[in-house]
Amino acid sequence: MAELIANLKLVKNKITIASARRSPEYKYFEPRLVAVSKLKPVELIVDAYKAGQRHFGENYVNELLEKGNDPIILETCTNIHWHFIGHLQRNKVNKLLSVPNLYVIESIDNEKLASAVNTSWINYRKDENLKLKVMVQVNTSKEQEKNGCEITNVCPLVQHIIANCKNLEFIGLMTIGMFGYDYSKEPNPDFLCLKECRENVSKQLDIDLKQIELSMGMSNDYEHAVELGSTNVRVGTAIFGERPKKNI
């Protein structure tokens, strides 16, 4: 537990330092830290929660379903905020939406998925006026193995969510980006691309730029992402340590 708390404190300190280096245009918010707990035991999540962490990210629906309903989590982590950050298949929408304390789905990447989530959320929300927060995932690196909508489809997808998905609240854009990019030479092009997508959404759909979040940056580049204006960083290994390989 001591190591996890030290790691968590270090990551938060680095975020604070990186925030101080940001352009003045980003001073209106403090970046949110999402502790990515995939393939990690419930005990570590509880330890991080007790240390003050509230936002946690999971990549797999079944794993989040199990953790979200764990009696220890339900009893101890009453104000936990779950972020689903993995690829979501339509046949698993109902499973995901049944998770207690689901805060946001960051990986909406097509209209059919958005519509399916919108329709099903009615059956799981506790308050009929409660909208589910969603982000649109963008494949900024254009890698075939990556999920996310194409750059040209970002505005139409956001428009679809706003116009046709009344049970959802669009809050921003997310990208994973190309792994291992050397940002010491120049800014990460995936992060710059996501920022450009946000500007396009803001202009074309008449949405205040400050109302569109940017979820970008992971353990290897979250400080760089913060400097470029990320509102939401997803950090796993730097907090919880290396993950075991997932059994397929």
pLDDT (tens digit, 9 = 90+) per residue, 126-175? 888 999 999 999 999 998 888 999 999 999 999 999 999 999 999 999 99
CATH code of 206's domain: 3.20.20.10
Determine the average pLDDT of the residues in 170-196. 91
User: What's residue 246's pLDDT?
Assistant: 63
User: What's residue 247's pLDDT?
Assistant: 58
Domain count, the chain: 1
The span from the CA of 172 to the CA of 212, in Å, is 4
Give a yes or no: residue 200 inside a domain.
yes
* Percentage above 90 pLDDT, the chain: 89
Q: Return the number of other C-beta atoms located less than 10 Å from residue 181's C-beta.
A: 18
User: What's residue 248's pLDDT?
Assistant: 45
Number of residues that this document lists for the chain: 248
Give a yes or no: residue 72 inside a domain.
yes
Listed range (69-78, 96-105, 179-188) with the worst mean pLDDT: 179-188
Give a yes or no: residue 243 inside a domain.
no
Give a yes or no: residue 25 inside a domain.
no
Give a yes or no: residue 39 inside a domain.
yes
pLDDT (tens digit, 9 = 90+) per residue, 197-245? 999 999 999 999 999 999 999 999 999 999 999 999 999 999 999 877 6
Give a yes or no: residue 245 inside a domain.
no
Give a yes or no: residue 244 inside a domain.
no
Give a yes or no: residue 248 inside a domain.
no
Q: Which domain holds residue 97?
A: 1-20+30-238
Is pLDDT above 90 for 101? yes
